[in-house]
C-alpha cells in the first residue's frame, strides 16, 4: 500500500450487507492480530532467561499458532460458502493464489504445508483445556497429558507483593507441553526440586538439538507471512474497486 493513510466512512466503504466487505475485514483483523502479537513477542527480551520474558514469548507463539489455525479454517469456509468471495479470491494474482493454498494447507492433512499440531494446539489455547471423565479414563484428556509430560520440571508461583504481580509459572511450563517437540516420556517423577533441576539441565541439550532440526515454527512463520500478503492484496483490490470519493488517500 502507498505510504500514508486511507480514510473512509466504514458504513459506506465496508457496508455490512456486502460479503466481500466482511471477508476483507476478517482478513484485516487476522493481519492485525499477528503483527501486534509478534511485535510484543519481539519486545520481550529475546536473550533474557527471566521467566516472565520467556512466558511472554511462549504466549505470543501460542496465540499466533492458534489464531493462524482459525485463519486457515476461515479462508476455506468463506470461499466454500460464498460464491461471491470465491470469485473475488479467484481474481487475485497468481502469487496470492499460492499464498492462499499455503495458508489453507496448514490445516489440510493432504497438503504439503500441513502442520498436524496446529489445530489441536488451537483447541487448548482459544478454548481452555476441557476436563472430561471419559477422556481422563482413556488417558487422553489434554491437561492430563500436559501435566504428565511436565512432571519432571520445576514449577513455581511467585508473588511480587501486589494482587496483579502473582505469576503461576508452573502453568506456563505445562502449556509448553502442547507445543511442537513436547512428547510423552517414561522418565520417573523427581523426588526433589534439585533432582528436577538436574533433569531439566540434562534435557536442555536435547531440546536445543531438536530446535535445530525441526522446522515447525519456521513453517508457521512462513504461513503467517503468506496470510499477511493475502490481507494486503485483498484490501488493495477491494479499495481500488470502491466508487469514487468512497475513500480518501492522505499522504504522510
* pLDDT at residue 252, as a whole number: 63
**Would residue 1 count as lying in a domain?**
no
Give the residue numbers spanning the domain of 52.
8-251
- Answer yes or no: is 143 within a domain: yes
Q: How many domains does the chain fold into?
A: 1
- pLDDT score at 206: 66
Could you tell me the pTM of the whole model? 0.78
Q: What is the pLDDT of residue 75?
A: 94
Residue 44 lies in a domain: yes
Q: Is residue 128 domain-resident?
A: yes
Q: Is residue 78 part of a domain?
A: yes
For residue 2, being part of any structural domain is answered with: no
Percent of the chain at pLDDT above 90?
38
What is the pLDDT confidence band of residue 57, given thresholds at 50, 70 and 90? confident
Q: Residue 151 in contact with residue 185, Cβ under 8 Å?
A: no
Average pLDDT over all residues of the chain: 86
pLDDT band at 156 (very low <50, low <70, confident <90, very high): confident
Residue entry with cell 538436574:
198
> Residue 93: its pLDDT value, please?
96
3 within domain boundaries: no
- C-alpha 26/C-alpha 16 separation (Å) is 12
| Residue 86, domain member (yes or no) | yes
Contacts of 164 (CB under 8 A, 6+ apart): none
Q: Where are the beta strands (DSSP E) in the chain?
A: 4-8, 157-158, 167-168, 247-251
Identify the sign of the CA torsion 213, 217, 223, 225.
negative
pLDDT tens column, 169-223? 888 888 888 887 777 888 899 999 999 888 888 777 666 655 555 677 888 889 9
Contact 29, 71 (CB under 8 A): no
- Distance, in Å, from the CA atom of 138 to the CA atom of 130, rounded to the nearest integer, reads 14
Amino acid at each position: 500500500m502507498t505510504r500514508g493513510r486511507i480514510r473512509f466512512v466504514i458504513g459506506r466503504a465496508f457496508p455490512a450487507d456486502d460479503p466481500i466487505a466482511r471477508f476483507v475485514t476478517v482478513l484485516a483483523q487476522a493481519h492485525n492480530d499477528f503483527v501486534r502479537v509478534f511485535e510484543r513477542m519481539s519486545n520481550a527480551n529475546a536473550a533474557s532467561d527471566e521467566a516472565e520474558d520467556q512466558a511472554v514469548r511462549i504466549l505470543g507463539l501460542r496465540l499466533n499458532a492458534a489464531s493462524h489455525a482459525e485463519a486457515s479454517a476461515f479462508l476455506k469456509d468463506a470461499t466454500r460458502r460464498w460464491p461471491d468471495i470465491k470469485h473475488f479470491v479467484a481474481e487475485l494474482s497468481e502469487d496470492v493464489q499460492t499464498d492462499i493454498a499455503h495458508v489453507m494447507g496448514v490445516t489440510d492433512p493432504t497438503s504439503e504445508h500441513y502442520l498436524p499440531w496446529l489445530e489441536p494446539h488451537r483447541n487448548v489455547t482459544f478454548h481452555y483445556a476441557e476436563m472430561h471423565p471419559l477422556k481422563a479414563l482413556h488417558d487422553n484428556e489434554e491437561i492430563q497429558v500436559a501435566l504428565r509430560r511436565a512432571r519432571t520440571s520445576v514449577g513455581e508461583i511467585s508473588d511480587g507483593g501486589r494482587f496483579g504481580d502473582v505469576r503461576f509459572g508452573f502453568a506456563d511450563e505445562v502449556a509448553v507441553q502442547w507445543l511442537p517437540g513436547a512428547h510423552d516420556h517414561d522418565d520417573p517423577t523427581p523426588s526433589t526440586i534439585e533432582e528436577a533441576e538436574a533433569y531439566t539441565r540434562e534435557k536442555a541439550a536435547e531440546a536445543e538439538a531438536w530446535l535445530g532440526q525441526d522446522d515447525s515454527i519456521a513453517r508457521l512463520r512462513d504461513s503467517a507471512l503468506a496470510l499477511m500478503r493475502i490481507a494486503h492484496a485483498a484490501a488493495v483490490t477491494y479499495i481500488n474497486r470502491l466508487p469514487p470519493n468512497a475513500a480518501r488517500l492522505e499522504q504522510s
